[in-house]
Amino acid sequence: MSREQRGPNEKLGTVLALAGISNAGLARRVNDLGAQRGLTLRYDKTSVARWVSKGMVPQGAAPHLIAAAIGSKLGRPVPLHEIGLADADPAPEVGLAFPRAVGAAVRSATELYRLDLAGRRAGSGGIWQSLAGSFAVSAYATPASRWLITPADSNAARDPQEAEATSTDGSPPQRVGHSDVTKLREAAEDARRWDSKYGGGDWRSSMVPECLRVDAAPLLLGSYSDEVGRSLFGATAELTRLAGWMAFDTGQQEAAQRYYIQALRLARAAADVPLGGYVLASMSLQATYRGFADEGVDLAQAAVERNRGLATARTMSFFRLVEARAHAKAGDSPAAGAALRSSEGWLERSRAGDQDPSWLGFYSEGRFAADAAECYRDLKVPRQVRRFTEQALSHPTEEFVRSHGLRLVVAAVAELESGNLDAACAQGARAVEVAGKISSARTKEYVRDLLHRLEPYGDEPRVAELRERARPLLVTQA
């Protein structure tokens, strides 16, 4: 359905011309974005002509999908007012701001937490579906540059008067203590374990946004000393980054981006530079995964440069490994090799007694080997893929089921590129079995990529058998 404006929508027509998108092309892009979120849309060139020439305003998620489609072509976010659809049902740009002041940062984060719950309750018309496809790597530019310039705020205290002035229900603000922060850290640790074992889409993972809204937001809006505030911002940054990682794992890229930006801002308020680097590394992995390898390199290098002399050796190893992933995806073999060697060197210098942050508990020699294998997969060096995959699979992965599934797929690709079709199908079958036990769109996408690589061998019975095994898994992919 649509409602009519007065006269043509000249703004939309102008931006479409600027982006070089035809009416039919826009309709196709909008329908495709809707399909990615389970929406069945049937717009055509006539629909777009009505939007432009008659000022018709499509209802529901469509205006936001239009903005996302045009923004994807232009390579930047496109606000609704720029295309003459500002009076459509609002999907606020909540979560994309990186405020300079700590008080504004608190408001920005808590607004995002409330928005997420509203979207989940709203079902198919919820906010994240309205924002479908709106990931824009350019949105990371300002947060990254501001963090690089000032990675730590000078004061994290929040006095009772400020807390009372911002109270939303008139109730007295909560006085926050270390015990409140401890509960958040415990929640983050529990969520990390569940995520590694069951994937970002497991029902328990939805408790992280709930924890942010119900537990973290009231604490952020309370009053606290500088010492408690630093700890509170750090714990909330960890939870927010984790919410972003889970959204990333389940394919909700637009939600992940907003969580990551707020997590980076909270890490700055915590004066926790290594944690800020960890968030930047997460941003880098997302940017690289989405096809923006150059930006992925920039984000990872920002984490590395700001943490020299601050982070532990193991932490620096992980940051350089993420940088290597981006270089490899960009096809820069010398840079990827240098980053991998640096990562391995840092890892060798790490010691059991180092004060590594708790959030780095997942990182081990096995994880290094697994990511190195993916680097060489992207660089098309199957011998090295096979070598590092064998190392990765030799390490225990009981607590990291998703990682084990990803390693199996990479192993299958290595076998295939080495000409071992039987071994590739065998590893692929194991990967499908593991992927069926977790809720991870990313793992399923790896399986889909493997099947695509196997298409030239489609007549082989073992390939057909693997495809049949994977079919139920991919049919239910989010």
Q: What percent of the chain has pLDDT over 90?
A: 59
Q: What is the CATH number of the domain that holds 66?
A: 1.10.260
What lies within 8 Å, CB to CB, of 334 at 6+ separation is none
> Which residues, in sequence order, are bridge partners of residue 56?
4
Asked whether residue 236 is assigned to any structural domain, the reply reads no
Q: Count how many domains the chain has.
A: 2
Residue where a domain stops, chosen among 83, 117, 141: 83
pLDDT digits (tens, 9 = 90+) for 296-320: 999 999 999 999 999 999 999 999 9
Side-chain-facing half-sphere of 109: CA atoms under 13 Å: 35
Domain membership flag for residue 137: no
Confidence of residue 128 (pLDDT cuts 50, 70, 90): low
The answer to the question of residue 9 being in a domain is yes
What is the C-alpha to C-alpha distance for residues 170 and 163, in angstroms, rounded to an integer?
A: 11
Residue that terminates a domain, selected from 83, 105, 120: 83
Task: Give the pTM.
Answer: 0.79
Residue 410, domain extent: 380-478
- Identify whether 105 is part of a domain: no
pLDDT digits (tens, 9 = 90+) for 136-193: 898 999 999 999 999 999 999 999 988 887 766 567 788 999 999 999 999 989 888 8
Helix axes 45-53, 10-19, angle to 10 degrees: 130
Q: Domain ends where: 22, 50, 83?
A: 83
Is residue 403 domain-resident?
yes
Assigned domain for 228 exists: no
pLDDT at 433 over 60: yes
Whole-number CA gyration radius for the chain: 23
Residue type, 22: S
In a domain, residue 442? The reply is yes
- Reported as a pLDDT band with limits 50, 70 and 90, residue 134 is low
Pick the range with the lowest mean pLDDT from 58-62, 174-178, 189-193, 334-338: 58-62
Q: SS3 of 57, please?
A: strand
Q: Is residue 430 part of a domain?
A: yes
